[in-house]
Structure 1
Amino acid sequence: MPFLTEPEPERRLPIPVASGIRRIVASNPSLMTYHGTNTYLIESEEGTIVLDPGPDDDGHLEDILRATGGRISSILLSHTHSDHFGSMAALKARTGARTFAFHLSADSAFAPDVPLKDGDTVAGMVALHTPGHASDHLCFARPDGIVFSADHVMSWSSSIVSPPGGDMASYFTSLRRMLTRDDRLFLPGHGPPLPNPAPYVQELLDSRLKREDAIAAALLDGPHGTWDLVDRLYSQTHPWLRQAAERNVTAHLLKLRSEGRAEQHGEIWVSTDWMMKDVTNSRS
């Protein structure tokens, strides 16, 4: 599907992306994070809000403090993956700002100052619980049609769904939820802004459905291991991304198992339809 690209953004400086919103791109580029994690600085009546303070990096922390003059009213977190969450404790210690995150944290060592549930409002934004990529994932929707979509919907790539924290059935549900909305701009956790996001979200969902159909079809041919399916379905994948592909395949398999369409026997997965056919053939 057609992903968006952008030149490497200027480092260490806040870049305006919309009225009253700037981003600082952390210096953690990789095949998994694109140019780096987007930390958003949002101006509000209460002061500057920091959304996703980024990785545990002293330089990035100083960039945030310099861009805000250290006057930060609150710190919002989309989810507790380290590339978004790593600087939260240090930023809170330096500013005293309260932290806001989903009330059921996926990190047992972290509890936000203000736990959020689906539909709660913070600084005029509605917290949308969108599990799939992470169990504690939140998007934040503004009344002007801008949504901070974090890693649920990214413009430069599809998201990894890695069990046990990631769940493919939840991811499908969360994508479908975004399709019921009339948003005009997504600001993702990595990569450039995504205007008119609905067609893109539909393509993400369709692509995942096709992948799941391909996995189900492969299992109809007989038993397969997870890595066999990766080799069969992701033959063009960069070797460094094979682990991510394996995580996605595992998430699809677990979804198929929960639906009664596949069974796991050790490291081998089989289609329930294939097993029924095999039993029928053995009796005939």
Structure 2
Amino acid sequence: MAFLKEAEPERGAALPVLPGVSRIVADNPSLMTYHGTNTYLIEGDGGFVVLDPGPDDAGHLEDILRATGGAVSAILLSHTHSDHLGATAGLKARTGAKTYAFHLSADDAFTPDVLLRDGDSAVGMTALHTPGHASDHLCFAFRDGILFSADHVMSWSSSIVSPPGGDMADYFRSLQLVMERGDRLYLPGHGPPLPDPIPYVGELLDYRLKRENEIAAALADGPSGTWPLVDRLYSKTDPWLRRAAERNVLAHLLKLQAEGRARVTGETWSAT
């Protein structure tokens, strides 16, 4: 896959993305988050909509408040992973803005003020339930064929699908859903904007299907655990990346099991 890269962004700054839209890239770089989480600031008549406040970091919260002048009218969450949710409570406390998120939160400690379901309108956008990376993941359809794709589709990397919150069958269906929409630009939760995203989403689907077929072929050769499958199918050596690969392998195996193509005894998987 041809992923997009970008230079490390200016820290603490509201970087223009589109007319009326900017992003602050949180200072939480890692192998899983690239340069950091994109916190989007969307201008509106009643103030700014903040999409994904980012990690629980006092400096990042102050950056958001400075860029918006504290005029935050709503807080939207794509999903409740900590690198997106962390600053939400602090931003709500400082601004009084209501929080909007999927009605079935994957974080027992968080309940949004406004419960969103698939297709609901939210401050001028449409919420699309796109589980796969996370059970409560939402993308937000904006104006003019623009989709805030969060961690469902990112330009710099494919997404990890880690059970139990991640589900590979859901991920396949959600990729198909956004591909059929035909949007012209994705604004992801990490990394740079993704223009002409539909062929890219098709590549993601093909890549996942190829990996699934490789796993099925490996099981046809004999029973295996997840880590031997990682060793067979991946070349990653970094411990974090190997762990991410193992979670993806498990997600594929659970999908194969649900389809009657694999079974598990203890921690050993085999073809049916």
TM over 0.5: yes
- What amino acid does structure 1 have at the position aligned with 2:154? M
For 1:203-242, what aligned pairs fall within 5 Å after superposition? 203-242=203-242
Q: Does 1:34 align with 2:34?
A: yes
- What amino acid does structure 1 have at the position aligned with 2:166? G
How far apart are the structure 1 equivalents of 2:260 and 2:243?
26
TM superposition score normalised by structure 1:
0.95
Deviations 1:251-274 (A, max 9, x none): 0000000000000000100000xx
How far apart are the structure 1 equivalents of 2:122 and 2:44?
11
Deviation at 1:26, TM superposition (A): 0.2
Q: Does 1:96 align with 2:96?
A: yes
SS in 1 for 2:41: strand
- Report how many residues are paired: 272
For 1:102-113, what aligned pairs fall within 5 Å after superposition? 102-113=102-113
- What amino acid does structure 1 have at the position aligned with 2:77? L
For 1:42-81, what aligned pairs fall within 5 Å after superposition? 42-81=42-81
| Counterpart in the other structure of 2:263 | 263
Provide the alpha-carbon RMSD of the alignment. Answer: 0.7
Deviations 1:209-229 (A, max 9, x none): 000000000000000010000
| Counterpart in the other structure of 1:282 | none
SS in 1 for 2:30: coil
* Long gaps (5+) in structure 2: none
Deviation at 1:237, TM superposition (A): 4.8
| Counterpart in the other structure of 1:162 | 162
| Counterpart in the other structure of 2:253 | 253
SS in 2 for 1:139: strand
- What amino acid does structure 2 have at the position aligned with 1:21? V
How far apart are the structure 1 equivalents of 2:234 and 2:268?
18
Deviation at 1:142, TM superposition (A): 1.2
Query: What percent of counterpart residues are identical?
Result: 75
How far apart are the structure 2 equivalents of 1:237 and 1:119?
41
- What amino acid does structure 2 have at the position aligned with 1:190? H
For 1:109-148, what aligned pairs fall within 5 Å after superposition? 109-148=109-148
How far apart are the structure 2 equivalents of 1:8 and 1:55?
18
Q: Is the 8 A contact 2:103 2:116 kept in 1?
A: yes
For the pair shown, the structure with the greater C-alpha radius of gyration is 1
In the TM superposition, structure 1's runs of 4+ consecutive aligned residues that sit over 2 Å from their partners are: 235-240
How far apart are the structure 1 equivalents of 2:84 and 2:59?
15
| Counterpart in the other structure of 2:24 | 24
How far apart are the structure 2 equivalents of 1:195 and 1:39?
19
TM superposition score normalised by structure 2:
0.99
Deviation at 1:46, TM superposition (A): 2.4
* Long gaps (5+) in structure 1: 273-284
